[in-house]
Chain A
Amino acid sequence: MSALSIRDVHKRFGPSEVLKGVSLEMGSGDFTVLVGPSGCGKSTLLNIIAGLERQSSGSVEIGGRTVDDIAPKDRDIAMVFQSYALYPSMTVRQNITFGMECRNVPRAQREAAVSEVVRLLQIEALLDRKPAQLSGGQRQRVAMGRALVRNPLLFLFDEPLSNLDAQLRAEMRMEIKQLHQRLGSTIVYVTHDQIEAMTLATRIAVMREGVVQQFADPETVYNRPANLFVARFMGAPPMNTLPARLEASPSGSVAVIGHGEGEIRLPVPVEVKGWIGREVVLGIRPECITEPTRHFGHAPDAVLTIAASVEMTEPTGAETIVVLRLGSERALGRVSADLRPRVNEMARFAIDTRKINLFDPATGDRIVS
């Protein structure tokens, strides 16, 4: 039985179609992260799951039960909002117990539930304060507490950390991950933050203009993006996408970037018979272009060393981003922090050819063997 299944959900606001047939299937204990550019319909989808918004067509099932005609309060869900949406006139305790108050849960039971959640989140000291007297991080915790106390089938998070500063965000991210591991809850989580998506998710759904582009585990989404949009959207700096031609060679297919003198030939890891002699888009992540002494997971035969001219370097502290020329195309590489390749000179780089992706230039879709 799946914890959440969304079947072909469409949503129209007047003339504009915001969701165009979204289908997702989640198992119990899954942590699904929804990512996508602003306005692609993530919040709308979350609202439909919560029952706060009615889909134009399609259906939603939570815990094996169709909930299309069920009110939000009876869907057995809890939601954490970007603005936290704490009730400003209530104390922290009242905020946490408001749901139980609405469901007429006996007072003793409420108190027990509160004290458990409060211990879990370490907000005992805040119970009698009003939201206005809390810091951003504390408000976030209270919002989490309000969701946790319900112990629902499904948690919905809409960019819960985006109002926190970077340090607090990293802390809370860790805590959410621990909570998920500890409680085994099922979560749908919307975020703009790549790192949140990669670190938290067991599954990532990448959306664009109301269409799910790829729904897979983070590793697959990152290393084998379903199309050019996903390739460029995930990862910072984004994946290099360069025009290339495929040619046959005795040892397998090679992708050729550039022409004549400066051309670069990269063996491709997939069998692409139908594409020999045709133009493709080659995708390679910046971290797969690095200094020649690097070993990529001890797969020496996959490493190709090339010479390329360096256009610019950007030391970020943790590493140095290098802008270089591959063939005649500009690409980004990432080398160790203490390396500073000289600008406008040739330098040698190792390329991890296992992680090369090929895309159809016409449709943008990934070319699979």
Chain B
Amino acid sequence: MTHTVAAETRTGRPVTFGILRRLPEHLAIWVPLLLSAGHLVSFALWTVWISFTPSTLVPVSGWVGLRNYTAVMATRNWQIAFDNLLLFGCGFVLLSLLTGLLLAVLLDQRIRGENVLRSIFLYPIALSFVVTGTVWSWLLNPGLGIQKLVNDIGWTSFRFDWLIDRDMAIWTIVIAAVWQSSGFAMALFLAGLRSVDADLIKAAQIDGAGPIRMYRRVILPTLWPITVTVVVIQLQFAITTFDLVRALTGGGPGLATQLPALVVYDLMFQRGLLARGAAAAVLMLLILLAVLLPYAGWRYLQRRQAAHA
């Protein structure tokens, strides 16, 4: 293809002819891309606009300034959701990072059956969060899942009822989310471990580093760019978590597992407060930007350093 295009340009025919010939390809690439980008951007802008209007059940025009924002932020619902997000975000990111790293280091020992194990650990990613949430809601249900199993075996005083415990319920979300996504962290870390310069490991072997020192001083320090990437991806997942909580706890018991996305849904579609819901959504977007913008800046610096080195 490129060959013929080049030949045509050389013989003096206009380049546009080549573009025309490739029209189907261009259509196939650009139309869906523009449509989805347009969708995303226009709905985001629309949401921002709505958040400054007095809309309730239906969108109306008008300007109320930041009233919707102050109103949303003043609700207990939002405040709890925000606190929960902090707890859930930190717990989830740290635990999935550690689990992923541990799995990756264990898999890195060139054990037999690595491929099978890797697939098993990666498998949860292929599941919908709704499925994960539902399955874990059964597993964690005291009358149905793990607690019942252990009780039936004979340890009758065993209690594992975090799902209905107001203080612990948020950790059930952490558990399910870690279960679902630490395979992803593992995959990235494993790729990182495998791309460590083989000479580096040889040098450390000659220097006499044992396995623990080898990981701690030589191999793991090379992984921190990957760690940052994993943290950012997991964080933005945490911020936008919705379906998992819907399926697992529905935000309860009470407001114990309320998260911002649930607040948005609740305001917009259940209470018919469109503008407030939009304001909450925009707040979520801001939280997301607070994570993504520093990351983009960091990537930029990294690339510039690499270009200079």
A-side residues, CB < 8 A to B, are 47, 50, 52, 71-74, 77-79, 81-83, 85, 87-90, 98-99, 102-103, 132, 146
Report A-chain residues with C-beta under 8 Å of the C-beta of B208: 71-74, 99, 102-103
| Contact yes or no, B202 A50, CB < 8 A | yes
Q: Determine the distance from Cα of A99 to Cα of B202 in the docked complex, in whole angstroms.
A: 12
* A contact residues around B197 at 8 Å (CB): 83, 85
Asked whether A89 lies within 8 Å of B222 as measured between CB atoms, the reply is yes
Contact present for A78 and B209 (CB under 8 Å): no
Rounded to whole Å, the gap between the CB of B301 and the closest CB of chain A is: 13
CB distance from B203 to the nearest CB of A (A): 4
* Residue pair B206, A78 in contact (C-beta under 8 Å): yes
The distance from the CB of A72 to the nearest CB of chain B, in whole angstroms, is: 5
Residue in chain B with minimal CB distance to A133: B309
Closest beta carbon of chain B to A134's beta carbon, Å = 10
Complex partner residue of A85 from B202, B213, B221, CB under 8 angstroms = B202
- For chain B, the bracket of interface size reads 10 to 19
Q: Is the CB of B206 within 8 A of A73?
A: yes
Instruction: Find out whether the CB atom of A87 lies under 8 angstroms from the CB atom of B218.
Output: yes
Contact A89 B221 (CB under 8 A): yes
- Distance in angstroms from A128 CB to nearest chain B CB is 17
B152: chain A residues at CB < 8 Å are none
With beta carbons under 8 angstroms apart, the residue of B199, B200, B207, B218 that contacts A99 is B207
Contacts of B217 in A (CB 8 A): 87, 89-90, 98
**Contact (Cβ within 8 A) A87 B204:** yes
Which residues on the A side are within 8 Å of B151 (C-beta)? none
B205 located at the interface, meaning its Cβ lies under 8 Å from any Cβ of chain A in the complex: yes
Docked complex: B185-222 residues within 8 A CB-CB of A: 197, 199-200, 202-210, 213, 217-218, 221-222
Q: A79-B206, A90-B217 are in contact. List 7 more A-B contacts (CB 8 A).
A: A52-B202, A52-B206, A79-B202, A79-B203, A85-B199, A89-B222, A98-B209
> Which 4 residue pairs are nearest across A and B when measured between Cβ atoms?
A73-B208, A89-B221, A85-B199, A99-B207
Residues of A within 8 A of B210 (CB): 102
* Interface set of B (CB-CB < 8 Å, partner A): 197, 199-200, 202-210, 213, 217-218, 221-222, 305, 309
- Complex CA distance for A52 and B207, rounded to whole angstroms: 12
CA distance A96 to B309 in the complex (A): 22
The distance in angstroms between the C-alpha atoms of A72 and B197, with both chains bound, is 18
B interface SS class: helix
Enumerate chain B residues within 8 angstroms of A89, measured Cβ to Cβ: 217-218, 221-222
**Minimum distance in angstroms from B199 CB to a CB of chain A:** 4
Q: How far is the CA of A149 from the CA of B210 in the complex (A)?
A: 20
Give the residue of A73, A82, A103 whose beta carbon is less than 8 angstroms from that of B205: A73
Chain A residues with CB under 8 Å of B222's CB are: 88-89
Given contacts A88-B222, A90-B217, contact A77 B206 (CB under 8 A): yes
Closest to A158 in B: B199
Cβ–Cβ < 8 Å partners of A87 in chain B: 200, 203-204, 217-218, 221
Closest beta carbon of chain A to B207's beta carbon, Å: 4
Q: What would be 23 A-B contacts, judged by CB atoms less than 8 Å apart?
A: A50-B206, A52-B205, A52-B206, A72-B206, A73-B206, A77-B206, A79-B203, A79-B206, A85-B199, A85-B202, A87-B200, A87-B217, A87-B218, A88-B221, A89-B217, A89-B218, A98-B204, A98-B209, A99-B208, A102-B207, A102-B209, A132-B305, A146-B203
Q: Nearest-CB distance from A279 to chain B (Å)?
A: 48
CA distance A113 to B292 in the complex (A): 47
- Alpha-carbon gap, A85 to B201, bound state (A): 8
Query: How many residue pairs at the A-B interface have CB separations less than 8 Å?
Result: 64
Contacts of B209 on A, CB cut-off 8 Å? 98, 102
Q: Which residue of B lies closest to A99 (CB)?
A: B207
Interface pair B207/A98, CB less than 8 Å apart: yes
Bound-state Cα–Cα, A102 to B209, Å: 6
Asked whether, in the complex, the Cβ of B207 is within 8 Å of the Cβ of A85, the reply is no
Bound Cα distance A103, B221 (Å): 21
Query: Which partner residue on chain A sits nearest B224 by CB separation?
Result: A89
What separation, in Å, do the CA atoms of A74 and B207 have in the docked complex?
Answer: 9
Contacts of A146 in B (CB 8 A): 203, 207
Complex alpha-carbon distance, A46 and B207, angstroms: 16
Complex formed: what's the CA distance from A87 to B221 in Å?
9
Q: Which B residues are in CB contact (< 8 Å) with A77?
A: 206
Shortest C-beta distance, A193 to chain B (Å), equals: 19
* Listed residue (A71, A102, A103) with the most chain B CB atoms within 10 angstroms of its CB: A102
In the bound complex, CA of A81 to CA of B199 (Å): 7
Q: Which residue of B lies closest to A81 (CB)?
A: B199
B80 to chain A, nearest CB (A): 41
| Contacting residues, chain A, for B207 (C-beta < 8 A) | 73, 98-99, 102, 146
Q: Which single residue of chain B is at the shortest CB-CB distance from A132?
A: B309
| Identity of the chain B residue whose Cβ is nearest the Cβ of A74 in the assembled complex | B208
Q: Which residues of the partner chain B approach A90 to less than 8 Å between Cβ atoms?
A: 217
Cα(A78)–Cα(B208), bound, Å: 11
Q: How far is the CB of A103 from chain B (nearest CB, A)?
A: 6
A88-B221, A99-B207 known; A81 and B202 CB under 8 Å? yes
Bound Cα distance from A72 to B208, whole angstroms: 7
Closest B residue, CB atoms, query A75: B206
Q: A90-B217, A102-B213 are in contact. Are A85 and B203 (CB under 8 A)?
A: yes
Q: How far is the CA of A83 from the CA of B206 in the complex (A)?
A: 15
By CB atoms of chain A within 10 A, which of B200, B202, B206, B217 has the most?
B206
- In the complex, the chain A residue whose C-beta lies closest to that of B206 is A72
With the chains together, A82 CA to B198 CA distance in Å? 12
In the complex, A146 Cα to B205 Cα: how many Å?
13
Given A99-B207, A102-B207, A102-B209, CB of A83 within 8 Å of CB of B221? no
Bound Cα distance from A85 to B197, whole angstroms: 8
Residues in A with CB closer than 8 Å to B205 are: 52, 71-73
Question: Which B residues lie within 8 Å of A132 (CB)?
Answer: 305, 309
Expressed in whole angstroms, the Cα–Cα distance for A98 and B206 within the complex equals: 10
Q: How far is the CB of B202 from chain A (nearest CB, A)?
A: 5
Cα distance A73–B221 in the bound complex, in angstroms? 22
Distance from B45 Cβ to chain A, minimum over Cβ atoms (Å): 42
How far in angstroms is the closest Cβ of chain A from B204?
7
Closest chain B CB from A69 CB (angstroms): 15
Distance between Cα atoms of A233 and B208 in the complex (Å): 38
